[in-house]
C-alpha cells in the first residue's frame, strides 16, 4: 500500500502516461480427463509501475520472465487476470473491445519478428494504410499522402509502396513495421524486442531511427529486450524483470552503475566488456530459471541468489524506495 | 589511387533499382504454377473439354433427349458419329450435353460445399472455445452419416431427383472435411504476430477474417476445392451408373455408362460407353493435376523470397 502511494506521489511530479497497479496475468494449465485447471503459469505476477510521458522505459529479463506478456497485457492484446491499467488516466483494463478501439489509436506495438508480423499478402502501401482505414475517415488520397510521407520518414522510398514484404530485408521490414505503428500518431508504443532479430549493424540503424522518431513525434516507448546494451542505448529508465515480477527499477545510470539487486548485478556482470579495467567480476548464476507455474516461496530469486539468507524463503520482498527513483525488491535493502 | 575492389555505390540508389518490377504474391504463385508442365497441360485439356461441352449446339444438331425407337443401338455413321443408345438417342449429342450436366454438378456442388465449409470453419477457427466445440461436434455427426444410404433414402422418398436436389445432398453431407481444414488453418493463423498486429490497430473481426485470415488460408481452400470437384464428378457418375443419380432422359456421363450394364452393349457397342468413360477419366485426372499444381504454387512455405 505504502509503495503504491509513494509511486502515485512521485507520479504527480511528472506527467504519467501509463500506470499499472498490481497487474497479474496467469495462464491456466489444463489437465486431467476433464481438462480442468490444475495450476497457473504466473507470467506476470503483481506488477505495479508507471511510465512518464516522453520517456523510454526499458524492460529487461531472461526468456520466460514475462516481459513480452507484460507488453501484450498493457495493450490489452491479452486480458489481465487481475489489476488495473490506466492509460492517460483512463482505466482500460476492463473496457470492452468496442470501447477499446478508440484507445488503440494512441497505443501501438512493434513486434520482434519482422517476418511474422507483416501479412505477406498485403503490399507495403496497404500494410501502412490499414490503421488509417480502421481508425480514421481520411480519403484515399489523404491516406496515400500519409503513407508516402511515413515511408520517407522511416528511410524507405515512396515507390516501395507497391512492393510486398518478401522483397525486403529484415531491417527494411522492421522499418515498415515502425511506419505501420506510427501512422496513426500514437502517444505510446510498446517495442517488443524490435531489434533482436536483426544483424548488429542494422540494429544500430533501427535504434537510431526509433530514437529520432521519438524526438520528432514526442513518443513514449516501453522497450522490451533481453539485450542489456540495447536497452542501455535507448532507455531513460530500466526495469529488470525476474519470473513475472520486477526485481529492480531505476533510472538508467543507476541500474548500470550502482545495481542493487543481486540479480541485476549478475546480469550486468555477464555483459562482455571491451575495456579490461572496467570488466566486472563475473557472478555466475547456478541453476535454471524456476518454473513460473511453481515459483519459489518468498523471493522468487532466492534459489539462485549468491546472497541468500533465511528471510528470503519466508517473506516476499516488496519494491522499496532507495531514493532518486531507484526501487528494488530485495531483503538486503530496507 | 583507384579503388578496384570495393564497388562504389551510386548515392542515389539502394540495392533495389527503382525500375525493378515488383511481383505480387499472386504473380509469384502463377510463376510456380506455370513451371508445372502437367498442370499447365491439364488446364489446356480441360479448357478444350469445357469449350466443347459449352459449344455443344454448334458441334451437333441432334437432340440428346429425343428417342427414336426405329434407330436403336446403331453403329457409328455419318449422322450419328458414336451411334445411338438403347432408346435410339444420339450418343455424340449425349456425350456433349451430358458433359454439361456432369461438370455443372461437380462445379456447383463444389461451390455450395465451399460456402458452407469455409463459413463454418472460419467461425469455428476464429472464435474457438464453445462455438468451435459446437460446430465441430455437429460436423462429426454429419461425417458419420453414410452418404450412399442417405442418397438412396432421399431418392426413394422424392421419387425424382433434380440437379438442384442432387447438388444439395452432396454439399450438405460433404462440408465437414473442408470445415476441418479451414478451422485448422485459422487456428494456426490466430497465433501469428500479424494477426495480433491487426488487433492492436483496432481492426474488427470481419476485417481480420477477410483481410488477414482468408488470403492466408486461400491455398488449402483452393486446392481442396479442385480436388472436391473431381470427386463430385465421380460421385455423380457412380450414382447415375447404379440408377440413383440424375434420372433419364437427362444425359450425364454417368448414366451413359450405365448403358453398359447390358452385356450386349458392353460387347457389341464399345463406341457407346468408352467415350463417356474416357471423358470422366480425363476430366478428373486433369482437375487432380491442376489441384496438385495449385498445391505446389500456393504452398505458404515457398512464399518467402
- Is the pLDDT at A194 greater than 70? The verdict is yes
Any residues with CB less than 8 A from the CB of A118 and at least 6 apart, and which?
A127, A165, A173, A176, A177, A180, B194, B197
Residue B59 falls within a domain, yes or no?
A: no
Average pLDDT, chain A: 85
Q: Decide: A250 and A329 in contact? Cβ < 8 Å.
A: no
Strand order across the A220-225 sheet: A107-110, A188-192, A220-225, A56-60, A237-242, A245-251, A327-328, A320-321
pLDDT attached to residue A279: 64
Contact B16 A117 (CB under 8 A): no
CATH number for position B255: 1.10.3720.10
DSSP lists the bridge partners of residue A242 as A245
Q: Picking from A22-26, A221-225, A254-258, A281-285, which range would have the lowest pLDDT averaged per residue?
A: A281-285
- Is the pLDDT at A8 greater than 60? The verdict is no
Domain that holds residue B253: 24-54+93-298
In the DSSP assignment, the letter for residue A275 is S
Average pLDDT estimate for B247-252? 80
Query: How far, in Å, CA of B269 to CA of B260, rounded?
Result: 9
Residue B293 falls within a domain, yes or no?
A: yes
Average pLDDT estimate for B33-54? 87
Residue B72 falls within a domain, yes or no?
A: no
Structural domain count of chain B: 1
Which residue on chain B is closest to A178 by alpha carbon? Answer: B197
Average pLDDT estimate for A311-329? 87
Residue B18 falls within a domain, yes or no?
A: no
Query: How far, in Å, CA of A259 to CA of A251, rounded?
Result: 11
Predicted ipTM of the assembly: 0.80
- Is the pLDDT at B13 greater than 50? The verdict is no
Q: What is the pTM of this model?
A: 0.77
pLDDT attached to residue A281: 73
What phi and psi, each to the nearest 5 degrees, are found at residue A46? 65, 65
pLDDT attached to residue A241: 92
- Is the pLDDT at A3 greater than 60? The verdict is no
Q: Picking from A207-211, A260-264, B12-16, B96-100, which range would have the lowest pLDDT averaged per residue?
A: B12-16
Helices (H), B36-128: 37-54, 56-59, 91-127
What are the pLDDT digits (tens) for B203-233? 888 888 888 888 888 888 888 888 888 888 8
Q: Decide: B92 and B82 in contact? Cβ < 8 Å.
A: yes
pLDDT attached to residue B17: 44
3-state secondary structure of A186: coil
Q: B86 exposed, middle or buried (CB, 10 Å; 0-12, 13-18, 19+)? A: middle
Query: How far, in Å, CA of A318 to CA of A176, rounded?
Result: 41
Instruction: Tally Cβ neighbours within 10 Å of residue B270.
Output: 13
Query: Within chain B, what is the greatest distance between any pair of CA atoms?
Result: 101
B214 close contact with A: CB closer than 8 A? no
Average pLDDT estimate for B195-204? 88
Residue B12 falls within a domain, yes or no?
A: no
Cα B3 to Cα B6, B7, B8, B12, distances in angstroms: 6, 8, 8, 20
Residue B3 falls within a domain, yes or no?
A: no
Q: Decide: A209 and A175 in contact? Cβ < 8 Å.
A: yes
Residue B136 falls within a domain, yes or no?
A: yes
What are the pLDDT digits (tens) for B115-129? 999 999 989 988 888
- Is the pLDDT at A36 greater than 70? The verdict is yes
Query: How far, in Å, CA of A113 to CA of A71, rounded?
Result: 15
B13 close contact with A: CB closer than 8 A? no
Residue B137 falls within a domain, yes or no?
A: yes
Tell me which residue of A186, A202, A21, A209 sits closest to A109, measured CA to CA: A186
Instruction: Tally Cβ neighbours within 10 Å of residue A140.
Output: 10
- Is the pLDDT at B63 greater than 80? The verdict is no
Average pLDDT estimate for B3-10? 46
Instruction: Tally Cβ neighbours within 10 Å of residue A216.
Output: 10
Interface mutation vs chain B, best among A100, A111, A121, most B CBs within 10 Å: A121
Chain A residues 126-145 with a CB less than 8 Å from chain B: 130-131, 134-135
Contact A108 B23 (CB under 8 A): no
Contact B201 A116 (CB under 8 A): no
Contact B201 A184 (CB under 8 A): yes
Strands A36-52 and A220-225: unpaired
pLDDT, greater one: A231 or B32: A231
Q: Decide: A47 and A248 in contact? Cβ < 8 Å.
A: no
Amino acid at each position: 500500500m505504502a509503495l503504491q502511494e509513494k509511486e502515485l506521489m512521485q507520479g504527480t511530479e511528472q506527467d504519467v502516461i501509463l500506470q499499472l497497479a498490481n497487474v497479474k496475468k496467469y495462464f491456466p494449465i489444463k489437465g486431467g480427463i476433464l481438462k480442468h485447471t490444475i495450476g497457473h503459469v504466473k507470467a506476470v505476477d503483481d506488477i505495479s509501475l508507471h511510465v512518464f510521458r516522453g520517456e523510454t522505459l526499458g524492460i529487461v529479463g531472461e526468456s520466460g520472465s514475462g516481459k513480452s506478456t507484460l507488453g501484450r497485457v498493457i495493450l490489452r492484446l491479452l486480458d489481465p487476470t487481475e489489476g488495473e491499467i490506466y492509460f492517460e488516466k483512463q482505466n482500460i483494463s476492463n473496457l470492452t473491445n468496442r470501447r477499446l478501439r478508440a484507445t488503440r489509436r494512441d497505443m501501438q506495438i512493434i513486434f520482434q519478428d519482422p517476418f511474422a508480423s507483416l501479412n505477406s499478402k498485403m503490399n507495403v502501401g496497404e500494410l501502412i494504410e490499414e490503421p488509417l482505414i480502421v481508425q480514421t475517415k481520411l480519403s484515399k488520397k489523404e491516406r496515400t499522402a500519409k503513407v508516402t510521407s511515413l515511408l520517407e520518414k522511416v528511410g524507405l522510398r515512396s515507390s516501395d509502396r507497391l512492393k510486398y514484404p518478401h522483397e525486403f530485408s529484415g531491417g527494411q521490414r522492421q522499418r515498415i513495421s515502425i511506419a505501420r505503428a506510427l501512422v496513426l500518431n500514437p502517444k505510446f508504443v510498446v517495442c517488443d524486442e524490435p531489434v533482436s532479430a536483426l544483424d548488429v549493424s542494422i540494429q544500430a540503424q533501427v535504434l537510431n531511427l526509433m530514437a529520432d522518431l521519438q524526438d520528432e513525434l514526442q513518443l513514449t516507448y516501453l522497450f522490451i529486450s533481453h539485450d542489456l546494451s540495447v536497452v542501455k542505448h535507448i532507455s531513460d529508465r530500466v526495469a529488470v524483470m525476474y519470473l513475472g515480477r520486477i526485481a529492480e527499477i531505476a533510472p538508467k545510470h543507476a541500474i548500470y552503475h550502482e545495481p542493487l539487486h543481486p540479480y541485476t548485478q549478475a546480469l550486468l556482470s555477464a555483459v562482455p566488456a571491451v575495456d579490461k579495467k572496467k570488466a566486472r567480476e563475473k557472478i555466475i548464476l547456478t541453476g535454471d530459471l524456476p518454473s513460473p507455474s511453481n515459483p519459489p516461496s518468498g523471493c522468487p530469486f532466492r534459489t539462485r541468489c549468491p546472497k541468500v539468507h533465511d528471510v528470503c524463503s519466508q517473506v516476499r520482498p516488496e519494491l522499496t524506495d532507495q531514493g532518486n527513483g531507484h526501487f528494488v525488491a530485495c531483503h538486503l535493502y530496507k | 589511387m583507384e579503388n578496384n575492389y570495393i564497388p562504389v555505390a551510386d548515392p542515389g540508389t539502394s540495392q533495389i533499382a527503382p525500375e525493378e518490377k515488383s511481383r505480387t504474391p499472386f504473380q509469384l504463385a502463377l510463376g510456380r504454377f506455370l513451371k508445372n508442365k502437367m498442370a499447365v497441360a491439364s488446364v489446356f485439356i480441360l479448357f478444350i473439354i469445357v469449350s466443347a461441352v459449352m459449344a455443344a449446339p454448334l458441334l451437333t444438331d441432334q437432340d440428346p433427349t429425343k428417342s427414336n425407337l426405329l434407330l436403336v443401338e446403331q453403329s457409328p455413321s455419318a449422322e450419328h458419329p458414336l451411334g445411338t443408345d438403347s432408346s435410339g438417342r444420339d450418343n455424340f449429342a449425349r456425350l456433349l450435353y451430358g458433359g454439361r450436366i456432369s461438370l455443372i454438378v461437380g462445379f456447383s456442388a463444389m461451390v455450395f460445399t465451399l460456402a458452407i465449409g469455409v463459413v463454418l470453419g472460419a467461425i469455428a477457427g476464429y472464435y474457438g472455445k464453445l462455438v468451435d466445440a459446437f460446430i465441430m461436434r455437429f460436423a462429426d455427426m454429419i461425417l458419420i452419416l453414410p452418404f450412399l444410404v442417405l442418397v438412396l433414402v432421399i431418392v426413394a422418398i422424392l421419387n425424382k431427383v433434380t440437379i438442384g436436389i442432387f447438388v444439395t445432398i452432396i454439399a450438405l453431407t460433404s462440408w465437414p472435411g473442408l470445415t476441418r481444414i479451414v478451422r485448422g488453418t485459422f487456428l494456426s493463423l490466430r497465433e501469428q504476430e500479424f494477426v495480433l498486429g491487426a488487433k492492436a490497430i483496432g481492426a474488427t473481426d470481419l476485417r481480420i477474417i477477410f483481410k488477414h485470415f482468408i488470403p492466408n488460408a486461400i491455398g488449402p481452400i483452393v486446392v481442396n476445392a479442385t480436388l472436391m470437384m473431381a470427386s463430385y464428378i465421380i460421385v455423380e457418375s457412380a450414382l447415375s451408373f447404379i440408377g440413383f443419380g440424375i434420372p433419364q432422359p437427362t444425359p450425364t456421363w454417368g448414366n451413359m455408362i450405365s448403358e453398359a450394364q447390358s452385356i450386349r452393349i458392353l460387347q457389341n457397342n464399345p463406341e457407346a460407353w468408352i467415350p463417356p468413360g474416357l471423358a470422366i477419366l480425363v476430366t478428373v485426372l486433369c482437375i487432380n493435376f491442376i489441384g496438385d499444381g495449385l498445391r505446389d504454387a500456393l504452398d505458404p512455405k515457398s512464399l518467402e523470397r
